[in-house]
Chains A and B, each alone.
Chain A
Amino acid sequence: MYRRWKFQPKARGTALQSLYEQPIIKSAKGFSKTRFLVVDCEMSGLDSNTCQLLSIGWVVIEHGRIINSTGKHLLIHADRGTGDSSRIHGLLDNRIAGANSAASVLMLLIKQMQNSVLVFHHAPLDMKFLQKASIDNFRCPLIFSYVDTMEIERRRIQMQGKSSSLRLAQSRQRYGLPDGSQHNALADAQATAELFLAQVSYLKTGEKLSLSDLGLRCAF
């Protein structure tokens, strides 16, 4: 709350203003009444100081359904070489050349974030890069509520007294979800969304499942 108050004047007049002004999402809100924005980022490496965002993919969940038409995959123009992970993501410098600026991609993302809870698989990494990009471009961090499917999975595994891999692919396998053929920010966002629905269906006791049951947090 403190940071929200601190940055609000700064955010005024920027793309972030609407985010700062929207009411905070209550943790008692029901799952099926909430709009979720499932986000996945691809970066050129793990260190947000030396590496940068390459692409962002997202998809929306409403009424407990993934809305396929909301899927977006946006490439971000890179200043530096793409580094090692380009081999994994299949993104090459020359393909990224025609991509969007980080600022324009963030502005599209912010539009989608309105009145939504974000969903990540392993949120800290994606958030570190998103916040850095936001501060670089708008001098303010993003402000939002989110849940982390990796944390949901960690709790579930701990409850069962097991220790298993929490990676996206292995977590999906435990719910019988199909192996994805593609590997990019959108495909991973969709894969995370499917995992999220699967987790929710197992957490659901009765009809009422609130955001606090899902471990809702606030970005800062």
Chain B
Amino acid sequence: MASVDLQNEQSGIEFVEQSVQKWGRSPSALIPILQDIQQQYRYLPEQLLTHAATALELPPASVYGVATFYAQFSLDPKGKYLIKVCDGTACHVRKSMPVYEAIRKRVRLVDGKSTTEDMQYTVETVSCLGACGLAPVVTINDKVYGQMTPDAITAIIDMLEQQEGEV
């Protein structure tokens, strides 16, 4: 498990406390609380997992079990741009894998890694985004791009980087 120091651990613990206030202390509150943490930090920092376990009086192992079971949760930090390539059946049949390879090449990901060294990009595949009519589909930070080709997605990433440069 990655153990990245939170810039301000105290604020993280306060965040968990607020979430616990919102959802309550029953075991069924665990998943919503983890979802809050995931949304805020874009991963589940180890310290906050432990804190959630203490707050709900659950064994840390159970919390870890839930955190690793569901695909929505990540124990590793994600890049600034989270690129999801849909590899559901419809997208697969309409050739989503060449699109995936093109993205990996464009952001220079090698050796099976999914996040770039500079933490700019994380590239993943997902089972189905439910936009099968527009296959193949890619989302970048939840914005949906339909009917993608290797060329089209490369151009979109070019544009993103251009916008980055302007900021």
Do chains A and B stick together as partners?
Answer: no
